[in-house]
Structure 1
Amino acid sequence: MTQSEIKTLTDKVIKLVQEVGEYVRAERERIEDSDIEVKGVGDFVSHADREAENQLRAGLLELLPESSVMAEEMSPEERGGKWRWIVDPIDGTANYLTGLPVYCICVALEDRRSNPEFFGPIVIGVVGQPGMNAMYDAYAGGGARKNSLPIQVADHRPLQNCTIATAFPFRRRELMGDYLKLFQSIYPRIADIRRVGSAAADLCWVADGTFDGYFEMNLKPWDVAAGSIIIKEAGGQTSDWWGNPVCETGWVLAGGENVYCALRQIIDEQTFVRPQQIYK
């Protein structure tokens, strides 16, 4: 696929995400408490998540018929195809269901042709924020944008003046001890911390310079795939805590080069053990 073809495909994905975003935003007003299911502690889903995923799946397979779709609700283990879409229909569902506008629709395209047994490079990332009328996108070699305007990470402030985003490991609360140990190492060295409840929003706000960096434990590929290329194309860096592709473990670290390296050094001081579960 040429860069021109990837750009054209990105534009079509943006249009699809806009359409699904209109559905998600309108459907919020019709959701009752009885419509909400609990998948785990602090982890919720509604029919809006599933319907949005259905709409995205149908649209993406129409755009690229030879592809497959890894998506949070109905195909989280999908590994087939030379091209694989990685989809989160609503990232930040708890925010969405309680009326907070910080939630995202995430679509990434992964190139699996060279090594289908492991994660390949992400070549497209689109993150829609319907509650805030924002659309982020990037494609390989094409830069990153918010609402069609170029964006760039902030990497000019010393660490002590930086605002860093994070979130608690709510799905695995047994990790809180390790998380708090790292928090206590990072917090005294920075200006402040923010927790907004959507990994995709955190990544996009690092990409546009709202936040200087971001770290979190135990995310899933669909939480981070789209945002990772948006940060890369905005001039920043993402990886897991051990410097490997972020989608493999979901232990995400992101920032401009200077902030990323400073946070990576603090993480290295803690000697965390890389999780055995590797996503493929």
Structure 2
Amino acid sequence: MTQENDLSLALRVAQEAGEILRAHWATRAQLRVTTKRAGDFVSQADRAAEDHLRAALVLARPTDSWLGEETGAAGTTARRWIVDPLDGTTNFLRGIGHWAVSIALEDAGELTLGVVHDPVRRETFAATRGAGATLNGQPIQVAETARLGDALFGTGIPFGGMAHIDAHAADIARLMPQCAGVRRMGAAALDLAYVASGRLDGFWERRLQPWDIAAGLVLLREAGAQVEGWHMAERPEATGTVITATPALFPAFAACLRGQ
């Protein structure tokens, strides 16, 4: 029997985790929920989906390493799966249908594969390095928006006691007068997929975790987006801070956010 390739494997297990989450979504009022910190929750659904993903990936790729939001890191090999079993937990628990499964593969420190699966809309965004990005198997690319005044952006607004609330408020104050709008939808993986597919023209957020952005970064790069950290030389993989937009918009967008 031919071994399943990495993309087929990621697509399959993302769909399987999505079905687990859909079952919990139907009975979410009964879920046990704990609070990690103000505004940051974890439920039985998160844990069940991650348990399935980890078991399936370990079975298929027993020598690969692992990084999951709920179960942490395991292994030291160069190939590492980076997984968020439920990006948008607060949306999920509140009955807001904007949440996703996010799976990325890193090889020797470079992200090579990304899958973001939206079980509610049954949309699956996927990309492998050098092979382009797709939505449900059809090619996608970033929007052609060229003027900041026409552009719609996404972001994640800090909450609770996060130290960068004031800095983000200043970002919004600089950007809002110059663009067509900003959306805060509550699932960074989907926000990045929406930039890759042209639904949003750009996105920025500080201090995200690897599992929040790893798959989305692959999608963005393969769909033609420009991607940087807060400073030009920084990589979001290293800092957790991402600025991304269509190539035509990026210089003005980044300059506005950076206060230049």
| 1:97-150 Cα deviation digits (max 9, x unpaired) | 1111100100000012xxxxxxx1110000000011100000011100001000
Measured after TM superposition, the shift of residue 156 of structure 1 is: 3.1
Q: Does 1:132 align with 2:121?
A: yes
Q: Does 1:123 align with 2:112?
A: yes
Measured after TM superposition, the shift of residue 30 of structure 1 is: 2.4
Query: Is 83-92 or 27-36 further displaced after alignment?
Result: 27-36
Q: Does 1:109 align with 2:105?
A: yes
Q: Does 1:164 align with 2:160?
A: no
Q: Given residue 238 of structure 2, which amino acid in structure 1 is its aligned partner?
A: E
Q: Which residue of 2 aligns with 1:87?
A: 83
TM-score, normalised via structure 2 length: 0.94
SS in 1 for 2:20: helix
Aligned-partner Cα distance in 2 for 1:124–1:215: 21
Measured after TM superposition, the shift of residue 62 of structure 1 is: 2.2
Match of 2:52 among 52, 55, 80: 55
TM-score, normalised via structure 1 length: 0.87
| Contact 1:155–1:259 (Cα < 8 Å) also in 2 | no
Q: Which residue of 1 aligns with 2:38?
A: 41
Measured after TM superposition, the shift of residue 6 of structure 1 is: 11
SS in 2 for 1:131: coil
Query: Is 45-54 or 150-159 further displaced after alignment?
Result: 150-159
Query: Is 208-217 or 21-30 further displaced after alignment?
Result: 21-30
Q: Which residue of 2 aligns with 1:97?
A: 93
Aligned-partner Cα distance in 2 for 1:90–1:144: 21
Aligned-partner Cα distance in 2 for 1:239–1:165: 15
Aligned-partner Cα distance in 2 for 1:255–1:79: 34
| Higher strand content, 1 or 2 | 2
| Contact 1:168–1:217 (Cα < 8 Å) also in 2 | no
SS in 2 for 1:132: coil
| 1:164-188 Cα deviation digits (max 9, x unpaired) | 1112112543311111111111111
Match of 1:151 among 140, 148, 172: 140
Match of 2:183 among 168, 178, 194: 194
Identity %: 36
Aligned-partner Cα distance in 2 for 1:34–1:84: 30
Query: Is 6-15 or 232-241 further displaced after alignment?
Result: 6-15
Q: Given residue 16 of structure 2, which amino acid in structure 1 is its aligned partner?
A: E
Aligned length: 258
Change (3 A) 1:261 1:37: same
Aligned-partner Cα distance in 2 for 1:189–1:233: 28
SS in 1 for 2:218: helix
Q: Given residue 252 of structure 1, which amino acid in structure 2 is its aligned partner?
A: V
Aligned-partner Cα distance in 2 for 1:9–1:146: 17
Give the superposed CA RMSD.
Answer: 1.9
Q: Does 1:64 align with 2:61?
A: yes
Aligned-partner Cα distance in 1 for 2:7–2:256: 36
| Contact 2:145–2:249 (Cα < 8 Å) also in 1 | no
Q: Which residue of 2 aligns with 1:277?
A: none
Measured after TM superposition, the shift of residue 29 of structure 1 is: 2.1
Q: Structure 2 unaligned segments of length 5 or more: list them.
A: none
